[in-house]
Amino acid sequence: MTGNRKGGDTAHQLWEVFTQPGDGKPFEHAGSLHAADGELALQNARDVYARRSEAVAIWVVPSKAIVSSTPEDVGPFFDPANDKPYRHPQFYRVPQGFRM
Q: Which residues bind another protein (CB under 8 A)?
A: 1-4, 6-7, 9-12, 14, 31-40, 47-48, 51-52, 62, 65, 68, 70-71
Tell me how far apart the alpha carbons of residues 38 and 69 are, in angstroms, rounded to a whole number: 25
Q: Which C-beta is closer to another protein: that of 69 or that of 90?
A: 69
Closest CA to 18 of 55, 47, 52, 53: 55
Q: What is the closest distance, in whole angstroms, from the C-beta atom of residue 62 to another protein in the complex?
A: 6
Which one-letter amino acid corresponds to residue 45? Answer: A
Comparing CB distances to another protein, the nearer of 71 and 95 is 71
57 DSSP β-pair partners:
20
